[in-house]
Structure formats: structure tokens, C-alpha cells
Copies of this chain bind each other. A is one copy, B any other.
Amino acid sequence: MGVLTVGSVALDSIMTPFAQVRDVLGGSATFFSVAASYFTEVSIIAVVGKDFPKEHIRLFENLGINTKGLEARDGSTFRWAGAYGYDLNERDTIETRLNVFKEFKPILSEEHRRTEYLFLANIDPELQYSVLQQVESPRLTALDTMNFWIEGKREELIRAIGCVDALIMNDGECRQLAGTHNIVKAARRILSFGPRILVVKKGEHGALMFTENSMFSAPAFPVEDVFDPTGAGDSFAGGFMGYLAKIRETSEKNLREAVIYGTVMASFCVEKFSVEGMLNLKNSDIEERYNMLREVTRFGE
């Protein structure tokens, strides 16, 4: 059955110090799906406008991504425009036009309700909660969020967080949500909201994973030419959830492997615009980066 994701499919316009593009394929569900497609079957629930290029649908389908839940409505596709500074760490949102995404109210089909692995990409926590109410008996649910919801819909967000198994957020968001700077303390507080797994994405500093009794510190992949960081977090989530949906067992060992596969997929994502860095990968490309991450972390053996 693979993994189901609910999120945005968008057209992004991006400026980096090196280049710029207009209306390329983007959105949280897009990056997630493409990354996860290397590990398992993926189904996508999202909404686009009638202007959404057919070639993007074909791209999804060529990767085996099920687009039955990708609704095309009258109106324009969600558009996001952003610009990165020289160090590629800070980004400014230039424009957000929600368009048809404004009315997005995901209703799951019978088939989708029976999904075993669910990833709720960064959308309104009320929608995340509503999707969680619709799935019947998932094996693993996860959600991502952002500062906008932490500030604007804190209670709704904490309610949704209380219903998922795993939370995947960046470190700044964790500190903000927990109200404390120390990341170990923040993690403990966030786990007390309900989830049993917290994955903290730290960009160029790697990732941390916390459960009630364990902590895992994962390195970043040493990417020398970061070209466009857009979608790195969702690609990470795609590798993480995709691997777990494939392996179907969330032991500490498997969760750690999943974090590493997430790291690998994010490293491919940031090397090109849109999802291009993640297209046409061979399994050996993925395994090569996995092995390199083992090599750069090994000690005391």
C-alpha cells in the first residue's frame, strides 16, 4: 500500500545568487512524493488549478506516484516565490498566492482511508487533524509544520501533534514550539505532547531524532554545491517515511536508517532546482551516499 501524503502541489519561482526560475514544480507533497517514490508506492492528495501543466502529472506517473487524489479545480495553482541570500540559509518569501489551495479540504477515498503510512506535509493543522480522523488504522503517521502555524494556530497544532506517531520539524520550529532554546529540553517537552518520535531537521548541521528513551545524531551529507534548498525538508521526510513504509517496522535501528535515507534524499534535492536533483537516480546512487554517511561518522571501532 505504500505511503499517502497530504500537502501542497505548487508552482515555485525561485531566485538564488546563482540563477532563477519561474513556475517550476514545487510544493511540500511534490518533494515528499518524489523522494519517497524511490522506496515505496506513493499516493498524493492535493489540489491544483486547471493551469497545472500536464507534464508534471506525467512526471508523477512516470515515478509510479498515484495521482488519483490530485484534484484539478477551476482556478490557478498555488504559487510561491522566494529568494535566497548568498549563504542559502536565509530565505525571503516574495509572494504566496494560495489560489485553489485556499479551499483545500482533503476528503479521503475508501482506499486512502485504509492507508498504513501517512505523511501530513505542512498545511493548516485543522486540516491535518481532519485527515487523521479519516484514516482507519494507520501503522505510522507523521506531520511537519512551520512557524506560521506555531504562532497562529498553536492549540490546533498541538491537538494534531497529539494524534501522530512522529513529528518532523526544523530546529528553530522545535525551539519555538517548546518555548526553550536547549534542543534536548525542547525535544522532551514536545514528546510530552504525544508523539513517540521527534525528528529535528537542522539543515547543514544534520538531524536529531528523539524518542522517549533514545537519541540519534545524524550528520548532514557534505554537499559542496548547494544550489537551491527549497524542498529539502520535504525530501528528507520522503526518504524517512518511504523507507519506513518499505521496511514496515519501526525499531530504533530502522528509524535511524530512515533518518539517514532522509538525509540522502535531501542532499540530492538541494543540488538542483525543483525536484530535478531527485530524478533518474539509481539505487546505487542512493546507497553510495548512505555509505559515505557511514564513513564520515564512524569512530571507535
- Residues of A at the B interface (CB closer than 8 Å) are 86-89, 181-185, 202, 204-206, 215-220, 222-226, 253, 256-257, 259-260, 290, 294, 296-300
Distance between Cα atoms of A259 and B297 in the complex (Å):
12
Q: Are A181 and B87 in contact (CB under 8 A)?
A: yes
Contact A217 B215 (CB under 8 A): no
Docked-complex contact B182 and A224, CB < 8 angstroms: yes
A183 CB to nearest B CB, Å: 7
Q: Which residues of B are found within 8 Å of A204, using beta-carbon distances?
A: 183
Q: Which residue of B lies closest to A220 (CB)?
A: B217
A88 partner, pick from B89, B181, B185, B205, beta carbons under 8 A: B181
Contacts of A225 in B (CB 8 A): 182
The distance in angstroms between the C-alpha atoms of A220 and B217, with both chains bound, is 8
Interface centre among A202, A219, A253, A299 (most CB of B within 10 A): A299
The 6 closest A-B pairs by CB, nearest first: A217-B219, A205-B205, A87-B181, A256-B299, A184-B224, A184-B222
- With contacts A182-B224, A224-B185 known, is A297 near B217, CB below 8 A? yes
Residues of B within 8 A of A218 (CB): 299
Cβ of A249 to closest chain B Cβ, rounded Å: 15
Asked, given contacts A202-B205, A217-B296, A297-B217, whether A181 binds B222 with beta carbons under 8 Å apart, the answer is no
Interchain CB contact (< 8 A) of A257 among B215, B216, B256, B300? B300
Q: Which of A89, A257, A296 has the most CB of B within 10 A?
A: A296
Question: Which residue of the partner chain B has the closest CB to A290?
Answer: B300
CB distance from A175 to the nearest CB of B (A): 8
Report the minimal beta-carbon distance from A60 to chain B, rounded to whole angstroms.
31
Is the CB–CB distance between B224 and A217 below 8 Å?
no
Residue pairs across A and B with Cβ atoms less than 8 A apart, 26 shown, are A87-B181, A88-B181, A89-B181, A182-B225, A183-B204, A184-B224, A202-B205, A206-B206, A206-B217, A215-B222, A215-B296, A216-B299, A217-B219, A217-B220, A217-B222, A217-B297, A253-B299, A256-B298, A257-B299, A257-B300, A259-B299, A260-B299, A260-B300, A294-B299, A294-B300, A297-B299
A87 to B220 alpha-carbon distance, docked (Å): 23
A184 surroundings in chain B (CB, below 8 A): 222-224
A177 to chain B minimum Cβ distance, whole angstroms, is 15
A113 to chain B, nearest CB (A): 34
- The chain B residue with its CB closest to the CB of A217 is B219
Give the residues in chain B near A259, CB-CB below 8 Å.
Answer: 299
Contacts of A88 in B (CB 8 A): 181
Chain B residues with CB below 8 A from A89, complex form = 181
Name the CB-closest residue of B to A255.
B299
Residues of B within 8 A of A298 (CB): 256
Collect the chain B residues with CB atoms within 8 Å of residue A222's CB: 184, 215, 217
> From residue A89, how far is it (CB to closest CB) to chain B in Å?
8
